[in-house]
Amino acid sequence: MTRLEAILADITTVDVDVIVNAANSSLAGGGGVDGAIHRAGGPEILDDCRAIVAARGRLGTGDAVLTTAGRLPARHLIHTVGPIWGTLPEDEAIALLASAYQNSLQLAAQTTARTIAFPNISTGVYRFPKQLAAETAVGAVRSWVNDHSEAFETVTFVCFDDENLAFYRHLLP
């Protein structure tokens, strides 16, 4: 049975099998968690990302791809693109955010990973309302792990501030 947890931490320091990156569609490394992951992980990550974009083009919202984790403590890094709040109808934005979580889980399950850590996807510069993002993330992950209960030991939501942590702790037993 998969355990869901929320912690307050720097995702680049979390010791898990897979770290998920809240990436932009160009996979070029940006600000926020994306920039922090690229800086901490080193140039190998950007090299992998450039090869992916060269082969398939920009990553669509809700999609996920796997790269090296470089110098991060994880064995794998998954990049996913969350929706930008206010650019789509609300129900579509929620569905795409849920897809970002579920597609990342599906991709991670194809590795030997037993533990995975997610940032608060889309809640920074993409302005997704934090409480709604937490509800969407927990709901999407719960739904996926209910159908794949043995896929992971632990799914960790790594929160970057106390406000996000409070939303997740309220939603998780």
Q: Does residue 50 sit in helix, strand or coil?
A: helix
34 part of the active site = yes
* E-assigned strand segments in 45-114: 64-68, 76-81
* E-assigned strand segments in 1-160: 3-8, 18-23, 64-68, 76-81, 115-118, 154-159
Residue of 15, 17, 34, 162 with catalytic role: 34
Q: Does residue 29 sit in helix, strand or coil?
A: coil
CA distance 67 to 48: 6
Residues noted as catalytic: 34
